[in-house]
Homo-oligomer: A and B are copies of this chain.
Amino acid sequence: MVPHLVTALAGPINELEQRILESLPATERWFRLEWMEHTPPFYTAVDVRNAGFKLAPVETNLFPGGFGRLTDAMLPLAVQAAMAAIEKICPEAKNLLLVPDSRLDDPDYRLNLERLTQVFTQAGLNVRLGSADPAIQAPQEYAGSGATPLRLEPLLRQRGRVGLKDFDPCTILLNTDLAGGVPKMLTSVHEQYLLPPLHAGWSTRRRSTHFRAYDEVAKKFAKLLGMDPWLINPMVASVETGAGLAGSEALQTQADQLLQKVRRKYKEYGITEKPFLIAKADHGPDGFGMRTVRDAKDLAGLAPDTPEGSAVILQEGVPTFERVDDAVAEPVVYMIDRYVVGGFYRAHAGRGFDEPLNAPGARIVPLGFADAGVLPKPGVRPGASAPNRFYMYGVVARLAMLAAAYELEATDPDAEIYE
């Protein structure tokens, strides 16, 4: 089930793997205690990069669209996790309204919606799909993977509640990242559960906030394991780029400083790779496009192209030494509630180990990840066991999910402040 993987495993990452496995009950208990204090996002997908010498999350998606990529073997875990989530949030729930994004023309995305429908039906909910798109005025059907078409209906707002014709849901599950703003139809929903909350959408989210939260999480976890947090934490700097050329200069200065910091860390660990950064918009699903920055000069003239007032984050680049066949690959870990329910590899034959892979031309390789990720094999030599590697990926992905929980608390507009 696991395709041919090539990983240059050497040095610190083996130590990390060993430490994570040795500390397994302590790690799981630590997560359990964190989840007593913090609410996990409803569902989360995390891109992980394994550099051999370092293992870190690089993107955290709070509206994952790849549930269709999980293998059938992972579905029972997803159903069980969905049951646990529903039971906690709204056990009396009967109807679930799923609000997709606008990618209905993409068969992969439709498969994602079919899977989510299947998972939540099986968890005991009547599931229907509704759209806030004003262009959808009557029910529309889209071809499904089987005989049953996907049916998308216009959202209705009645007496403060959001629903469909003859369908009053107690829970509304968003599968749209709200990058285009929050539809008016979905604002001021107080009588129903709206999940994830609106401030998990890109109209509020900032990558810089997320990675600040991750910094805190990584430090706590590294302390538990007695290790350098840098081994699981990419360094980040965020820069306002709205000021035109001045912004561009500020960006280059930041990039220079960050590259210096990475270089020092590489030296400390005897890593001979050439450091690089990834520049990406501070918010939005892709912003002005992620790009690799090997030298601060690569950024010259970049900022003025971006919309005024927007910001860029510079993230320490984590090379990936995972390969699927001959393509550079990175694992993506899927979670529902606090549970890892599966994952896949994103592979890109046209990209290098120091480039973002979430780009046109990427190929998804489903993996029998679930069993493996949940069940490490203690006693196996570090670096030699796929289950152990996948377990480690699941730990790091859950750290990013926990950071998202911290982030959503920090950005909650309805949060009560206790001083």
Q: Which chain B residue lies CB-closest to A86?
A: B32
Residues of B contacting A121 with CB < 8 Å?
A: 24-25
Asked if A29 and B124 make an inter-chain contact with CB atoms under 8 angstroms apart, the answer reads: yes
For residue A92, which residues in chain B have a CB less than 8 angstroms away from its CB?
A: 32-33, 36
Write the chain B residue with the least CB distance to A375: B75
- In the complex, A70 Cα to B28 Cα: how many Å? 23
Structural contact, A24 and B374, CB atoms closer than 8 A: no
B28 with A75: CB separation less than 8 A: no
Q: Which residues of B contact A147 (CB under 8 A)?
A: 379
A373 surroundings in chain B (CB, below 8 A): 76
With contact pairs A29-B124, A371-B73 given, residues A36 and B80 touching in the complex (Cβ less than 8 Å): no
A122 located at the interface, meaning its Cβ lies under 8 Å from any Cβ of chain B in the complex = yes
Contact A123 B75, beta carbon cutoff 8 Å:
no
Oligomer copy total: 2
The distance from the CB of A277 to the nearest CB of chain B, in whole angstroms, is: 36
A124 adjacent to B87 (CB under 8 Å)? no
Q: Report the Cα distance A118→B375, complex, angstroms.
A: 9
A24: chain B residues within 8 A (beta carbon): 121-122, 124
Contact of A374 among B27, B93, B122 (CB under 8 A): B122
Assuming the contacts A36-B91, A75-B374, A91-B32, asked whether A125 and B83 have C-beta atoms less than 8 A apart, the reply is no
A339 at the B interface (CB under 8 A): yes
Please, which residues of chain B bring their CB within 8 A of the CB of A83?
28, 32, 338-339
User: Out of B25, B123, B374, which one reaches A80, CB within 8 Å?
Assistant: B374
- B27, B80, B93, B370: the one within 8 Å of A81 (CB): B80
- Cβ of A126 within 8 Å of any chain B Cβ, yes or no, is yes
**Cβ of A337 to closest chain B Cβ, rounded Å:** 9
Collect the chain B residues with CB atoms within 8 Å of residue A25's CB: 94, 121, 124-126
CA of A108 to CA of B183 in the docked complex: distance in angstroms?
Answer: 59
Q: How large is the interface on A (under 10, 10 to 19, 20 to 34, 35 or more residues)?
A: 35 or more
Q: Is A79 an interface position by the 8 A CB rule?
A: yes
**Does A221 sit within 8 A of B, measured CB to CB?**
no
Whether, in the assembled complex, A386 has its beta carbon less than 8 Å from a beta carbon of chain B, the answer is no
Query: Is B75 a contact of A73 with CB atoms below 8 Å?
Result: no
Q: Does A77 contact B (CB under 8 A)?
A: yes
Cα A309 to Cα B79 in complex, Å, equals: 47
Partner of A87, one of B35, B80, B125, B379: B35
Does A416 belong to the interface (CB within 8 Å)? no
Interface residues of A (CB under 8 A from B): 24-29, 31-33, 35-36, 72-73, 75-77, 79-81, 83-84, 86-87, 91-94, 118, 121-126, 147-148, 338-339, 370-371, 373-376, 379
8 residue pairs bridging A and B, Cβ less than 8 Å apart: A25-B94, A25-B124, A25-B125, A29-B124, A32-B91, A75-B371, A76-B373, A122-B374
* Known interface pairs A32-B83, A79-B375, A83-B338; 12 further A-B residue pairs with C-beta atoms within 8 A, sorted by A's residue number: A24-B124, A25-B126, A28-B122, A28-B124, A29-B125, A31-B124, A32-B86, A35-B87, A72-B375, A75-B374, A77-B80, A80-B374
